[in-house]
Amino acid sequence: MSQEIVSKVSSYLTPHVPLNLIAQGAEAVVFTTNVHPYLPAKDSSNKSYIIKYRPAKRYRHPLIDRSLTKHRTLSESRLLAKLFLIPGLKVPQLIACDVYNGYLWIEFLGEDLPNNGGFSNLKNFLWMFASSDPYDPIVKETLIKVGQQIGLLHWNDYCHGDLTSSNIVLVREGFQSWQPYLIDFGLGSSSNMVEDKGVDLYVLERAIVSTHSLFAETYKEWLMDGFSQVYRGNGSNGEKKLKEVISRFQEVRMRGRKRSMIG
């Protein structure tokens, strides 16, 4: 299946666009390339870009499939464009999109940042420290930053929809500093509902617990510390909204626990 998709994408992009398959999920396939969709090859060959492609689903009627592909690709591209303009919020920049064929060209994170020394997703980052010092000050600082990014997202009334530790990318800046970016907004939305925000937080909590259960309680505290800082920085209104989100988060958590007990 992977080779079939690669062949299809290659034929769409013409043979002069090299592709490197880096991820394949239920919804989309992700490639890297060193060719910009608009710039001449000589001006972009020293950089990398992300191509996200939504392949056709054979179990759906072709008309329904094309409609869903167009809607979801357009929705994600619009959301990314809006989020990129929010001060302080770190998301990859949208470069181009083809909503009819299900393609997004997105910034490859990290290459243009000063003192770049690599990148990782949050899941692998925490595994990296688990065997040495899971409570390293770098881990605390980074998780607080992650919480701040989620806080900024929610404060501006947007939700991620699939907020796992794999969808948070950390770009290394300098020797001991990591900048978190939120990625993959295929299920994202504009929402001021505390239920949606509570679900976002619960999904991330479950991701942390499932992969780093020994340290999860401390990690959750650091995440919520950063998250709360954003809301509290907006005065009494922020304090009020923070209480509402945390209250709903606890309700969502209790519902999740009951479902787990029932099976």
Could you give the count of Cα atoms lying within 13 Å of 52 in the half-sphere of its Cβ?
26
Residue 76's nearest CA partner among 182, 175, 166 is 182
Measured between its terminal Cα atoms, the distance across the chain in Å is 33
Q: In which residue are the tokens 């869903």 written?
A: 68
Residue 22's nearest CA partner among 44, 40, 48, 43 is 48
Cα torsion at 180, 194, 87, 70 (round to 10°)?
A: 80
Tell me how far apart the alpha carbons of residues 50 and 30 are, in angstroms, rounded to a whole number.
7
Which of 162, 184, 196, 200 does the annotation list as catalytic?
162
Active site residue 133: no
Tell me how far apart the alpha carbons of residues 204 and 190 are, in angstroms, rounded to a whole number.
18
Tell me how far apart the alpha carbons of residues 18 and 1 are, in angstroms, rounded to a whole number.
19
Residue 36's nearest CA partner among 111, 145, 113 is 111
Q: Which residues contact 115 (CB under 8 A, 6 or more apart)?
A: 172, 173, 174, 175
Enumerate the active-site residues.
Answer: 162
